[in-house]
Amino acid sequence: MTAGASDLAQGLVEAVRAQDFGKTPDGWRGGAAVEAFPSIDLAVADFAHADGPRWANVLFSRELPQGLVADIGSDAGAVRNIGFDADQQNAHHESVAWRPGADWSRLDWTPIDAARAAAPQRFVAPYPASLLKLMVAVGVGLAVQRSLCPWPAALEPMVTVSDNDATDACVALLHRVGLLTPGRDHALNTVFSAWGLRTLQVNDTTPRGGWRNADGAGVGHIHMTAWDTVRLLWLLDPQAPPAHWLPAGTPTLQPATRERLHAVLSRQQRDEVLSSGRRRGLPGWVPGLPDAPAFAHKTGSTDNYASDAGIVTGGGRHYAVAVLTSLGRRFAPHEGCATTWRLPALGAAIDALLAPAAA
């Protein structure tokens, strides 16, 4: 474990507990508290710590209401004590694991990474929602640096305003250049696996750009976890140190690709999950992480899910953060919100924990 990692992990556990997520009002229960403790997968890599980079991943769920600290080695490699199970949708293309009354003992779970299926603890990974567009954006960057295509105009709206039509165009592009063709050496999932990010997967999309539930993809087919997402951001961050877990010389993203992708993330216009500037003025508004451009990030939200991941810089701070949750719009206190105010409050607590004065 790196210097300060245990303190960071404990700080993150306490930050989550302080938000009392188990009492979050659920719109699908008439405003009563959520029936089961929500799933929260939170990871941070702090690059500004005086003793060198430190990192931590903490997870909460109905099975882990007090929280669990992921076992990550000094090389910042994959989580060792948790097997991640895939989310599920039914034949009607509906998320079933998060409905009130859902009985997880009756659901047939499938591991995302079969090699870690025997881990001592399991965690059901919530669907990333539009955070998945971060993976698509990295795929576009790989296609460009391999001279398979120029930078598409659709990249900017896909990331900055989460435009779904633009995402269709980018997914179709990745099919045309072979990055979403299973089994190819340069396919996106193969690249993620080569980078050690085995829980990042884009499966079953269509050549016409389909990536939603109704296309045979979406929930249960496209996967992300917080720690692997943070490590993807590590590889994307132009100012981050070399990836500890990869052998020197492993080909990843070229400097120009990292700069372009980071610049697009810094123009984010949906500060509404860990950050909240776009929701300032709504009743009960709660400040969160710094807004873009200081927080270069991508969000995702549906009725069931809210996620956010990005890179925070400025004021002595430099860290990557990712959170994936089952706290979507049904938990929002106002129709203009993407999620509960508890998530930007968590963002503010994380930022305070990593502020230079705190260190």
Residues 6+ apart with CB under 8 A from 108: none
Share of the chain above pLDDT 70, in %: 98
Instruction: Give the mean model confidence (pLDDT) for residues 336-346.
Output: 97
pLDDT tops 60 at residue 3: no
Task: Characterize the bridge pairing of strands 121-124 and 82-85.
Answer: parallel
Confidence class for position 107, pLDDT limits 50, 70, 90: very high
Residue 136 in contact with residue 202, Cβ under 8 Å? yes
Residue 308 in contact with residue 126, Cβ under 8 Å? no
- Which of the pair, 237 or 355, is modelled with greater confidence? 237
Residue 245 in contact with residue 76, Cβ under 8 Å? yes
Average pLDDT, the chain: 96
Cβ burial 140-177 (10 Å sphere, 16+ → b, else e): bbbbbbeebeeebebbbbbbbebbeebbbbbbbbbbeb
Instruction: Give the mean model confidence (pLDDT) for residues 132-154.
Output: 98
Q: How many CB atoms lie within 10 A of CB 320?
A: 27
Q: What is the pLDDT of residues 9-26, one digit of tens each?
A: 999 999 999 999 999 999
Given this model, what pLDDT does residue 182 score?
81
Q: How far from chain centre, in Å, is Cα 285?
A: 23
Given this model, what pLDDT does residue 238 score?
96
pLDDT tops 70 at residue 4: no
Confidence class for position 116, pLDDT limits 50, 70, 90: confident
Residue whose token pair is 């509960």: 340
Confidence class for position 358, pLDDT limits 50, 70, 90: low
Cβ burial 287-298 (10 Å sphere, 16+ → b, else e): bbbbbbebbbbb
pLDDT tops 60 at residue 1: no
Given this model, what pLDDT does residue 313 score?
97
Q: How far from chain centre, in Å, is Cα 203?
A: 17
Residue 202 in contact with residue 54, Cβ under 8 Å? no
pLDDT tops 80 at residue 325: yes
Instruction: Give the mean model confidence (pLDDT) for residues 209-234.
Output: 98
DSSP letter at 218 equals: S
Half-sphere exposure of 297 (CA within 13 A, CB side): 29
**Domain positions in the chain:** 5-354
Given this model, what pLDDT does residue 118 score?
86
Given this model, what pLDDT does residue 186 score?
83
Half-sphere exposure of 187 (CA within 13 A, CB side): 16
What is the helix (H) or strand (E) element at residue 20, kind and residue range? none
Instruction: Give the mean model confidence (pLDDT) for residues 299-318.
Output: 97
Instruction: Give the mean model confidence (pLDDT) for residues 287-315.
Output: 98
Q: CATH second-level architecture of 5-354?
A: 3-Layer(aba) Sandwich (3.40)
Confidence class for position 357, pLDDT limits 50, 70, 90: low
C-alpha 238/C-alpha 315 separation (Å) is 17
Q: Specify burial of residue 10 (Cβ count, 10 A radius: 0-12, 13-18, 19+).
A: middle
C-alpha 1/C-alpha 287 separation (Å) is 32
> The sheet that has 306-314: what strands, in order across it?
64-69, 54-61, 40-46, 317-325, 306-314, 295-301
Given this model, what pLDDT does residue 117 score?
84
Instruction: Give the mean model confidence (pLDDT) for residues 170-193.
Output: 93
Instruction: Give the mean model confidence (pLDDT) for residues 293-313.
Output: 98
Residue 260 forms beta bridges with which residues? none
Q: What is the pLDDT of residues 48-106, one digit of tens each?
A: 998 999 999 999 999 999 999 999 999 999 999 999 999 999 999 999 999 999 999 99
Residue 289 in contact with residue 348, Cβ under 8 Å? yes
Work out the angle between the directed axes of helices 255-265 and 132-145 (0-180°, nearest 10): 150
Confidence class for position 356, pLDDT limits 50, 70, 90: confident
